[in-house]
Structure 1
């Protein structure tokens, strides 16, 4: 990952008026660049994941004792189905847990097991191949898991009643986890947490962004002994490192200390006085090892957001490990369901941000900063609830949160920004988490009771031929001021009372800030120097959008980054509205923008939009993952077309063939065999073939599929 350094020192930033944000020009340019980067990253991710199902299939064929679905669930829990590797520029002392490698997130020592070495030995290949080749990485993980499955089952591994089901793998999964040596109760709990998370993934299933994990019925009471399951599902735990014990606790919660107090001031001198409990009611209490944080009490005035660069369970295990480098954070949040674990009391110093530990609360988020799909709505919702609670209980102002773009490089922001990224701090040159894909603007809204972050409202420049009277309403009222003759900006238009003289008139009213009088007032478009009756355009001839349908939120961010009314979308024609499965959409003159929390906001237009709507829209194809992009040259016509990925398919278009969708196994074959530049563009959608098969015609061939034979070309 590039480590471009763009340092905005606090004094200089304040001088530029950048309190909690960035200059308007920089914001616009950064947002546009990030949208392009995210689109490219999602396209790359879709291509990267396309062969993984086949790799998993081959691993199951080689190791038939592994139940189907288990490898996919491990990969999802560890890396989110991404081929990961540590950043070579990162100093090991700054890592919050040992680095992982490949799709399966295999560890290579540094305090955890050396799964890379062990897997390479089992396969008879080099460690480098295990780390760099996705298929070999999956096979190495399968070999390690198969080894654990073949071990004789002990009383703590699995229950006899579940010997033949997925539940029977809990012991093997715990041994596979790789969380370092030792058989202590605390280490055992960490390993069982990993097994629990993998089986939970299978129980819930995953379907989106190219990841397909079928939901499977799992009875957790058959996977874990009753005493273990009680710990895994307990809302709070008490861990005693000296006695090596883990047990649920319902003892009295320790009161929150006031700023400057120690943990036990004001408490009776009883054994219960030293029992720590959560500061945030939703969290599970699972304390870090005492070697990994300072018990010194402080008044915390800031919040720092991180990504763990690994897995939730692995991070919890690492924070409980006393081996250097000694790191911790106050909270860790799981991506799959938003579960929150507190590991250090808020008034104590977790070691998460170097020179900034003494005044900041650290929140680690499951996953990787470089993953464009890392930020699940469940994790964001949990994080927002936690931050809101911190603001209510501590001297932290939620309105001081960063609300500009994220970055994939070190970018220092003013000290007045009190809720910000790890990579926005001084002395953190080698960090950029939580990365450029963290949705700071929408997160600001979430932690400020729905109030949108302050942002520059798009304006449209117009000339007036005379001084125009201003009014508080387009429908009437007393004059509130005057807009002088000349060039002015306006925000939007709305239909109101008729204004004019003789044959010249206009019903449109323009919202603007008066030269004499208050802001956000209304003047009649009758005073525009150009255009005709009932027209309201800016000086360049673009329609001024109606106030009632102005885009906002993530759809608005995308729309304005594309150029607003000057883009191919043109003016908005309808208000933003609900879409299928919890998304949102908005119609424009030239297309639409679809948004979902899991995918982001992307435009769809032209014949791809027509075919998308004609074949079921987002209810059938899911949400777009990227912008429409140029496709390859057709070998049949020499034309270059367009393509756009959706959650459940790929749409391709040329003038000669029109727009058609490809999905499933035929799409996988299409991508693995040269795509449109080799097979040509689709001539139609997939259709029935025989009694239980499917086929799809392309310019250069026809692809067939049956359950028995898979996909072949003819």
Structure 2
């Protein structure tokens, strides 16, 4: 890793600038991160300045720092509200029993807890300080710090997991992002080979691997919640199972699984799904009563299913997660005789007395219930346009922002179809739009699917 050396005055100026831009929204001019096709440097964003400053100040690999933030929050402050596990900001600095990264950051940086919680630049700086302190305690010297693979133990510790397999799940998620690369909030991290040095965690069970699977639901990994966070029972004999409650974690997948293992959490769910690929972990046996609904009667008679993400960011709601979750819900409905309707498959916010809003307005109930009821087909089509490419929009209509493009002649998967604005293209005039990815839509007027309009057995969005 190449680390820029800051004189003290320049460092304080850079941090002050980053903190100021976090509060004012004014873009700071720093080392250019991007350039336009003509070669003119574009000014760095406040977030880029924050990562530059924190990485240089604490000698933490910049891309590792960005990957950790992306794993925790998709680099989003989420309106400065804490996660369900008591984590704050895009780096999820936590102030909760057993996990005190916020307090550690305050002591290391001498920034106020309020600033660390609410100011993006301070939040990033605090996370870098904590990671560096963990690296120092692990004995990482300057040469080792230059190798991203040597930071695995520090990353695992940052996640706060009390159980080795969950600590490995957390750290592996960050390193998988480094391996594959990602883009978000103006940050682009290119994929690269990684070979993390896991130390003692090399021997930890890999969730989803042999010997860790659920006995209730075959595809699920088993990572038991603390016995302080649920009630042992013998359902359905002791209590009928009549409902399924849908939740959002308001945090990361690994973070939620870890939180349920924390005896201080006083919360749990039966299952938790990962956004990226629909992987699922079970934390409470179906026979037992998870503490998820905030209503004892509903707890006793329901299965709680958590989904990785935040209610205010629909980018977490992937087709992989929808389909995997619906498969579990369909299986549970069959097992316990639960009707597959919205009276029995409900949102957390619909529980009497609920103070939570999850899964929120971005959860697509129409699509989810169609999947639960067996309308699960994925269509296919070929893009045909008079131009070299076709714009992809964030929603089913020409007024939605352009979020990408797809080449003429490309084959696309059609996960569901929606009614949107009317468009005329090579295949006539239509109001049908095809969802070809998470928040990615193209008009059916430009796609040859073999059908006029709707594709049989493909859900409506």
TM-score, L = length of structure 1: 0.46
* Residues 549-576 of structure 1 deviation map (CA, whole Å, 9 limit, x = unaligned): xxxxxx9x946xx9xxxx99xxxxxxxx
Question: Does the Cα contact within 8 Å between 1:285 and 1:342 map onto a contact in 2?
Answer: yes
1:351 alignment partner in structure 2: 291
Distance 1:280 1:333 in 2: 13
Question: Does the Cα contact within 8 Å between 1:332 and 1:341 map onto a contact in 2?
Answer: yes
1:333 alignment partner in structure 2: 273
Distance 2:443 2:187 in 1: 23
1:598 alignment partner in structure 2: 438
Structure 1 pair 425–372 and aligned structure 2 pair: CA distance change class (3 A): same
Cα displacement (A) at 1:351:
0.9
Question: Does the Cα contact within 8 Å between 1:284 and 1:340 map onto a contact in 2?
Answer: yes
What SS does structure 2 have at the residue aligned with 1:213?
Answer: strand
2:57 alignment partner in structure 1: 62
Cα displacement (A) at 1:54:
3.2
Whether 1:103 aligns to 2:90 is yes
What SS does structure 2 have at the residue aligned with 1:383?
Answer: helix
2:255 alignment partner in structure 1: 314
1:134 alignment partner in structure 2: 120
1:294 alignment partner in structure 2: 231
Question: Does the Cα contact within 8 Å between 1:84 and 1:100 map onto a contact in 2?
Answer: no
Structure 1 pair 53–599 and aligned structure 2 pair: CA distance change class (3 A): farther
Question: Does the Cα contact within 8 Å between 2:250 and 2:309 map onto a contact in 1?
Answer: yes
What SS does structure 1 have at the residue aligned with 2:204?
Answer: helix
Cα displacement (A) at 1:320:
1.2
Distance 1:579 1:441 in 2: 28
1:627 alignment partner in structure 2: none
* Residues 47-77 of structure 1 deviation map (CA, whole Å, 9 limit, x = unaligned): 9x954233222322323x3223111111111
1:77 alignment partner in structure 2: 71
Cα displacement (A) at 1:321:
1.8
2:150 alignment partner in structure 1: 168
Question: Does the Cα contact within 8 Å between 1:278 and 1:342 map onto a contact in 2?
Answer: no
Question: Does the Cα contact within 8 Å between 1:329 and 1:363 map onto a contact in 2?
Answer: yes
1:432 alignment partner in structure 2: 357
What SS does structure 1 have at the residue aligned with 2:62?
Answer: coil
Structure 1 pair 53–389 and aligned structure 2 pair: CA distance change class (3 A): farther
Whether 1:53 aligns to 2:48 is yes
1:375 alignment partner in structure 2: 317
Question: Does the Cα contact within 8 Å between 1:83 and 1:134 map onto a contact in 2?
Answer: yes
Distance 2:315 2:441 in 1: 12
Cα displacement (A) at 1:362:
0.4
Question: Does the Cα contact within 8 Å between 1:309 and 1:367 map onto a contact in 2?
Answer: yes
1:196 aligned to which of 145, 148, 172:
172
Superposed, 1:10-29 pairs within 5 Å as none
RMSD after superposition: 3.8
What SS does structure 2 have at the residue aligned with 1:129?
Answer: helix
Distance 2:227 2:409 in 1: 48
1:233 aligned to which of 206, 212, 228:
206
1:542 alignment partner in structure 2: none
What SS does structure 1 have at the residue aligned with 2:268?
Answer: coil
1:629 alignment partner in structure 2: none
Cα displacement (A) at 1:422:
0.3
1:588 alignment partner in structure 2: 423
In structure 2, the gaps of 5 or more residues are: 1-24, 28-43, 378-392, 401-407, 448-461
1:39 alignment partner in structure 2: none
Question: Does the Cα contact within 8 Å between 1:338 and 1:378 map onto a contact in 2?
Answer: yes
Structure 1 pair 87–57 and aligned structure 2 pair: CA distance change class (3 A): closer
2:107 alignment partner in structure 1: 121
Question: Does the Cα contact within 8 Å between 1:86 and 1:99 map onto a contact in 2?
Answer: no
Cα displacement (A) at 1:233:
2.1
Question: Does the Cα contact within 8 Å between 1:99 and 1:107 map onto a contact in 2?
Answer: yes
Max Rg structure: 1
What SS does structure 2 have at the residue aligned with 1:362?
Answer: strand
Question: Does the Cα contact within 8 Å between 1:306 and 1:364 map onto a contact in 2?
Answer: yes
* Residues 286-311 of structure 1 deviation map (CA, whole Å, 9 limit, x = unaligned): 11112211121223221111011112
1:152 alignment partner in structure 2: 138
Question: Does the Cα contact within 8 Å between 1:369 and 1:434 map onto a contact in 2?
Answer: yes
